[in-house]
Structure 1
Amino acid sequence: MKNLKYLIVLLIATTFSSCGVYNFTGAKPVDAKTFQVNFFHNNADLIEPGIDRDFTLALQDLIMNQTNLNLVSNGGELVYEGEIVDYRITPMTATADQQAAQNRLTIRINVRFTNKKKEADDFEKVFEFYYDFAGTSLPTGSVLNEAIKTIYERITQDIFNESLAKW
């Protein structure tokens, strides 16, 4: 009976302990306590007003929601900066009368990540994603909002994975 108690205690201890490498979001622990996201300027040839602000805020929100890091405006231990380098709408498929049946909005963002605690983690990389919409729709209003939301969700998660989750 006494051995059974030890076995149960050992089983419970190993079940609820972990190596501490990952948390529920998949982020590896970092020594940093703060992060900063500098404004991502829109340097694309085609300018859509406000997408630079929206991306900057989306990246800040994702990191705040998936880590316990504190957002600071300067002096952050983890620094994200860069620029929107491409905003493009291209026809993907055509109808018999040479009309676009489907269009694609593509956004490319160049990101520079600096980890002041571990310089080996620093990188500069371009992240890109797209959203397809009907050729009869214009990339305005709700179509544009949904496209940008979808694209930014994917790009910000990719940046998070590259910088903090190391996937």
Structure 2
Amino acid sequence: MRKRAYILLCAMLMLLNACGIYSFTGGSISAGMKTVSVALFENNAPLVVPILSQSFTEALKDRIRTQTSLSFLRTNGDADFQGRITDYNIQPVAIQGDQQVSAGLNRLTITVQVKYTNTIEPDKSFEQSFTRFRDFSTQGSAFASQEQALIKDINAQLTEDIYNRAFANW
């Protein structure tokens, strides 16, 4: 009986120990990293949307702020993000055949070029492009009325990809 209780206790301890390693945010920030800086991502896309630069930069800051305990600096953080928006385009992806040929489904695509510098562990630094898209229809409402929500969704996807690449090594 004692042997069974001992085995059960050991199994429970191993299970609890394994759960302690996992992080719900998926982050593994370098030991000693205390600060982060995020420069304004300039919009160099051929099609310029005035709010995109600021909204993307703020979305990245919010992602880092909510998933880490790093303190923000204007420049030269232990983790430093810089970059630019290189593409913003809208293309039809499904043609609707009726009296008039029109796009039944369109795709908004945003691409950002990111330079991440990790001063604590320089081998984890990278420079990479990230692209995400969102499909939408203009049958029910005009693109202009959907644009901000689409940008917000794509920014959320992009910032998740960037966060995971920088802090979770995905």
Q: Is the 8 A contact 1:43 1:86 kept in 2?
A: yes
Instruction: Find the aligned partners of 1:39 and 1:145 in 2 and give their Cα distance.
Output: 19
Q: 1:119 to 1:20 in 2, by over 3 A?
A: farther
Q: Is the 8 A contact 1:21 1:29 kept in 2?
A: no
Query: How many residues of Structure 1 are paired with residues of Structure 2 in the alignment?
Result: 166
Shift of 1:29: 3.3
SS state of the match for residue 165, structure 2?
A: helix
Q: Which runs of 5+ in 1 are unaligned?
A: none
SS state of the match for residue 143, structure 2?
A: coil
Identical aligned pairs, as a percentage?
34
The one-letter amino acid of 1:50's match is I
Match of 2:158 in 1: 155
What is the TM-score of this pair, normalised by structure 1? 0.88
After superposing the two structures, state which structure 1 stretch, 23-32 or 48-57, moved more.
23-32
Shift of 1:67: 1.4
Alignment of 1:65-144 (within 5 A): 65-96=66-97, 97-136=100-139, 137-141=141-145, 143-144=146-147
After superposing the two structures, state which structure 1 stretch, 68-77 or 119-128, moved more.
68-77
SS state of the match for residue 89, structure 2?
A: strand
Shift of 1:12: 5.0
Match of 2:65 in 1: 64
Instruction: Find the aligned partners of 1:68 and 1:20 in 2 and give their Cα distance.
Output: 18
Q: Is the 8 A contact 2:30 2:121 kept in 1?
A: no
Q: Is the 8 A contact 1:22 1:28 kept in 2?
A: no
Instruction: Find the aligned partners of 1:39 and 1:166 in 2 and give their Cα distance.
Output: 23
Match of 1:29 in 2: 29
Q: Is the 8 A contact 1:41 1:52 kept in 2?
A: yes
Shift of 1:24: 1.8
Q: Is the 8 A contact 1:102 1:133 kept in 2?
A: yes
SS state of the match for residue 151, structure 2?
A: helix
Q: Which runs of 5+ in 2 are unaligned?
A: none
